[in-house]
Structure 1
Amino acid sequence: MAKVTILGATGNVGMFAARTVSEIPHVSEMLLVGRPGREDFLAGCCRDLSDSFAARGTHVRLSYSTRLTDVEGSDIVICTAGVPRRPGQDRNDLAFENAKIVAGSAETIGRSSPDAILFMVTNPVDVMTAVALKYSGLQSRQVFGLGTHLDSMRLKSLIAHYFRVHVSEVHTRIIGEHGESMVPLWSATTIGGIRISNLPTFSGLPAQEMIGAVRTSGETIIREKGSTVYGPGEAIATLVRTILGDENRILTVSSYITSEIHGIGDVCIGVPARLNRSGAFPVPIRLEENEVAGFEESVKKIRKVTADVMERLGEAH
């Protein structure tokens, strides 16, 4: 059984993730962490969640804190803390602002829970994963981000709708940045085990429109309702369940790569990784030529933003 801690638990994503994660049978204890001054709100969240646990017959020990040191003993720490993206704001515009929050938190987590898995959700998630990895001092397998997992699920849903098949029949991946430079792997996309390019109707697939919709999905939701909540919350629970269940599933998350994909590396970015109780392990893959070019561009972009943020953090420290 496991202890799961959620940083930023008073935010919309953190609160909903607490509910989805509480449904995982491997979770026996959950700690909600928020900023000092938010004690009453955290207490209310715990009461409300406890009522929901009673209604559905779930037994999870629930507590809250405003002290980061209380993460001690956590198996997984989910970091949703940070300033949320505003309408019209690029994820990378948030980079330095959130990096200061993540760096301090990661240092404390590394000291208090050196055996924990640190799961980053804070945007821009690829850059925040790199910041968390550096400042926590944890091993690369112990630190990963939500990355392009949700993007991949969004594309999966669009493809299923187009072909009028159950979503479970579709397997696809988006790699690279969780943002504008994301790269769809059409070469690895199958429906019912059949490569999508071998299906006669594939020629009419509005591929560019689909990727455009995935790229702007978060922005559209933020503009329409203020924040993305349900998609990220369910995606977080899927990854936590995969890790705590020691499932060894291959999912697309932001992870540190060295040379697994065509010799490209030294960056935290969305790639297929095998997930289990020990963490995230990037899987070496071969891509089509145009996919390699797209991935290289995405890596170049994220590497530059990451380097800029790290330099500014160094100056701030």
Structure 2
Amino acid sequence: MKTTIGIIGAGAIGQTVSNTILASDLADRLLLASRTLVQAQALTDDLADMRTTTGSATVPSACRPEDTVAAAALVIAIRERFTNDNATDIRMAGAEANARAIRDLGHRLRGYPGTVLIVTNPVDLMTRLFAEASGCTRVYGIGSNLDTARYRLTLSTLMGVPADQVHGHVIGEHGDSAVICASTTTVNGQTVAIPVRDIRETLARRPGLISSGVGRTRSGPAGAVLSTLRLVLGQADGTTELCTEWNGHWLGVPVTFAAGQGKPALPALNPTEADRFTASGHKLDTAYQNLATIH
């Protein structure tokens, strides 16, 4: 079946997502848009070189953001210019700057019938903002699935087992109030004692360590996008953690996909985890309302 995927944003994440999709042959066609058509065309030309050297079947082409509505799924990875001086809540720093662009894009793509994956931070706020501005009904935010992957990797290293033997979730905000679901985490099928505080500190440091070394996290988010695209396009079934609406809040929860249709459901939470999840939702609601009053 022919599949077209659109990517809006030709920065570090947009470039890496584009490379990943082209190398995977996930789509037959890749529509690329950015702040300017010049940027989109430059990325298209670079990908055309990659396509020729690798023999990929995916054909990239530059377009305006409005033209991406021809795609079955859109990945939005725009990022406005801003200075991030935050010592905590680092992903919140660009909320005001990115909100303007996300809201404008939502209006321009209003009524788009496909699936939209938001990568722009703070992703929980931007996912809600785009969904409300666009009226699109299948909008998900990429973040909690990356948090979960990092959690599984960290725990697998600590326990000395392969990452695929670790099963657990990180939910709530893609940020400082993320909730580690330690009570339902298993290693080799068995529940184990989880050093939650130490792991939370490790997960909080990891993005900064990557960014300090290579400028910005790229590959992890791109992998999270690729695996999610397979699910939303019906090319695979499974569960992943995504920002979506849950009981009136927008935050990360596990979403199970079958034939491209997603159904969110929370894992069992102990009282501490439930309290943290509730607090995470309230924090994001307050931040969103503050954003609405500013704009």
What's the offset of the Cα at 1:288?
Answer: 0.7
What's the offset of the Cα at 1:68?
Answer: 1.7
Q: 1:84 to 1:283 in 2, by over 3 A?
A: farther
Q: What RMSD in Å do the two structures reach over aligned CA positions? A: 1.9
Query: Is the Cα–Cα contact under 8 Å of residues 103 and 135 in structure 1 kept in the other structure?
Result: yes
What's the offset of the Cα at 1:109?
Answer: 1.7
Indicate which of 37, 40, 43 corresponds to 1:42: 40
Match of 1:55 in 2: 53
Q: Hey, what's the Cα distance between the residues in 1 that align with 2:116 and 2:16?
A: 18
Query: Is the Cα–Cα contact under 8 Å of residues 180 and 196 in structure 2 kept in the other structure?
Result: no
Q: Hey, what's the Cα distance between the residues in 1 that align with 2:250 and 2:259?
A: 20
Match of 1:290 in 2: 272
Aligned positions, number: 291
Match of 1:72 in 2: 69
Query: Is the Cα–Cα contact under 8 Å of residues 32 and 64 in structure 1 kept in the other structure?
Result: yes
Match of 2:170 in 1: 174
Query: Is the Cα–Cα contact under 8 Å of residues 25 and 57 in structure 2 kept in the other structure?
Result: no
Match of 1:132 in 2: 130
Once the two structures are superposed, residues 40-92 of structure 1 have per-residue CA deviations (whole angstroms, 9 ceiling, x without a partner) of x4333222222222333211121012x22111211111000023675543211
Matches within 5 A, 1:1-317: 1-8=2-9, 10-36=10-36, 39=38, 41-65=39-63, 67-83=64-80, 88-89=85-86, 90-111=90-111, 114-139=112-137, 142-195=138-191, 197=192, 202=193, 206-258=195-247, 266-275=248-257, 278=260, 280-313=262-295
> Runs of at least 4 residues of structure 1 off by over 6 A?
none
Q: Hey, what's the Cα distance between the residues in 2 that align with 1:215 and 1:291?
A: 18
Q: Structure 2 length as normaliser, TM-score?
A: 0.92
Higher relative contact order (CA 8 A, sep 6+): 1
- Which structure 2 residue ranges, 5 or more long, are not aligned? none
Q: 1:145 to 1:165 in 2, by over 3 A?
A: same
Amino acid at match of 2:212: R
Q: 1:87 to 1:138 in 2, by over 3 A?
A: closer
Q: 1:277 to 1:151 in 2, by over 3 A?
A: same
What's the offset of the Cα at 1:279?
Answer: 5.0
Q: Hey, what's the Cα distance between the residues in 2 that align with 1:64 and 1:171?
A: 40
What's the offset of the Cα at 1:171?
Answer: 1.1
Q: Hey, what's the Cα distance between the residues in 2 that align with 1:20 and 1:279?
A: 23
Q: Hey, what's the Cα distance between the residues in 2 that align with 1:17 and 1:177?
A: 22
Amino acid at match of 1:49: L
Q: Structure 1 length as normaliser, TM-score?
A: 0.86
Amino acid at match of 1:293: D
Q: Hey, what's the Cα distance between the residues in 2 that align with 1:183 and 1:128?
A: 19
Q: Hey, what's the Cα distance between the residues in 2 that align with 1:149 and 1:84?
A: 26
Query: Is the Cα–Cα contact under 8 Å of residues 84 and 94 in structure 2 kept in the other structure?
Result: no
